[in-house]
Amino acid sequence: MATTATISISSDIAPGFGGISESMTLTQGGTLTDIDSTTGFSIRKLSATGAVDLVTMDDISNTVETKDSTAAKIYIRNIGYKGVIDKSVGVTVGIKAEAIGKLYGGDWLMMPLTGIDADDVTVNPATDDTVVIEYVMFYEEN
Amino acid sequence: MATTTAAVTLTSDLLSDEMSVSATTTCMKAGTTADGLDMMEYGYIDIVTGDQFDLLGSDDSTGSLGKPVAGIMANKANKVYIKNHSTDETYYVSIMLDAQAIGKLYGGDWMFIPWNATDDDKDIEITASGGTNKICYALFHEGKTLIAS
C-alpha cells in the first residue's frame, strides 16, 4: 500500500454529465516512488477571525521541512464544532498572503503545495465562532 | 435545487497504523444552506510547454462568455477540479493563482479546491513542463448573467 486519494464528484447540474471518479497515488515529484513523509492527521480549533498558519513550512521543530517545489499535497476539511456543521460560514484557506477559497462547513479541499518556506498554509475564519479544521499534509522530506 | 456532491477517500500507510479518511460535501452557494451550485463548465485541453495560460479567469475572460465581465465570479463558493491526465510521471503542470504558486500536478495527480476569486486578478494559471500535458478540469459555480453580444 501507499498513499492514495480518490475523488468522486456527482452532479445533476448538466444533463448527461456522468460524474468524475479518479484516484491518484501520491508519489515523489517526477517519479513513481511513493511519497515518504506526512505531518500526520491533525485538527486545529479556531475561535477568532484573523489568518493563522495551519502549516508553517520552515517549522523544523514541528518536523515539517519539505523538499521545495516537488509533489507535496494537503487535505483540509472544515468539520464544524461539536458535531454542528454550519454551511453558511466558512474558513478561508490561503497560501502565503493569497486567499485560495473558503471552506464552508463540511467542505474539503485537496491541493498541491510548493513546500517553499515562505509558502505557509493559512486559515482565516469568517467569524469568531469556534470552528475546527482537520488536515493532513504529505510531502517529500528534505 | 441542483445537487453537486464531492467525496474523497484518503488512505496512507505512512503512520504506524493505516490512516483512512473519507469525507463528502454538498456544494452550496456562498452563505446558504438550501441552494446548491447550479452551473458548471467541464473541459479537456492540451497545455503545451513554455507559456503560462489562464485556465480559469476570475472575470471569465477564458470561460463561456468569451470576454471579461468584472466581478462575475467574485466571492462565490466556486469549486475547481483539475486533473493531469498525462501518463508520463515526469510531466507536470504548475498551478498558480494571481501569480502565487500553489503547487505542481504531476501526471496522474488531481486537485479540488474552493475558489473565491475575490477580484478580477484571481485567475487560475497553469504552466506545463516536460511535454504537452493533458488536463481535465471542471468548474462548479453559482451562475452568471449572460451579457448581450
How high is the ipTM of this complex?
A: 0.96
Contact B112 A7 (CB under 8 A): yes
CB-CB neighbors (< 8 A) of B114 in chain A? 90, 93, 100-104, 107, 109
How close is the nearest chain B Cα to the Cα of A15, in Å?
Answer: 11
Q: What is the pTM of this model?
A: 0.94
pLDDT for the residue numbered B68: 57
Four-point Cα dihedral B80, B85, B89, B91, nearest 10? -80
Of A12, A71, A107, the CB nearest to B104: A71
pLDDT digits (tens, 9 = 90+) for A80-97: 999 999 988 899 999 999
End-to-end CA distance of chain B: 29
Question: Residue A118: which CATH number?
Answer: 2.60.120.170
Inside any domain, residue A41: yes
Q: What domain range is A65 assigned to?
A: 36-139
Q: How confident is the model over B34-77, as pLDDT tens digits?
A: 899 999 999 999 999 988 898 988 776 555 555 556 666 777 89
A21 assigned to some structural domain: no
Interface contact B28-A41, CB threshold 8 A: no
pLDDT digits (tens, 9 = 90+) for A18-55: 999 999 999 999 999 999 999 999 999 999 999 999 99
**Cα B72 from Cα A22, distance rounded (Å):** 30
Q: Write down the mean pLDDT value for chain A.
A: 93
The verdict on A100 touching B (C-beta cutoff 8 Å) is yes
Over the stretch B88-147, which tens digit does the pLDDT of each residue have? 999 999 999 999 999 999 999 999 999 988 777 888 999 999 999 999 999 999 876 666
Matching residue, cell 509533489: A71
Query: Is position A1 within any domain?
Result: no
- Structurally, chain A folds into a number of domains equal to 1
Domains in chain B, CATH or no CATH each: 37-141 (2.60.120.10)
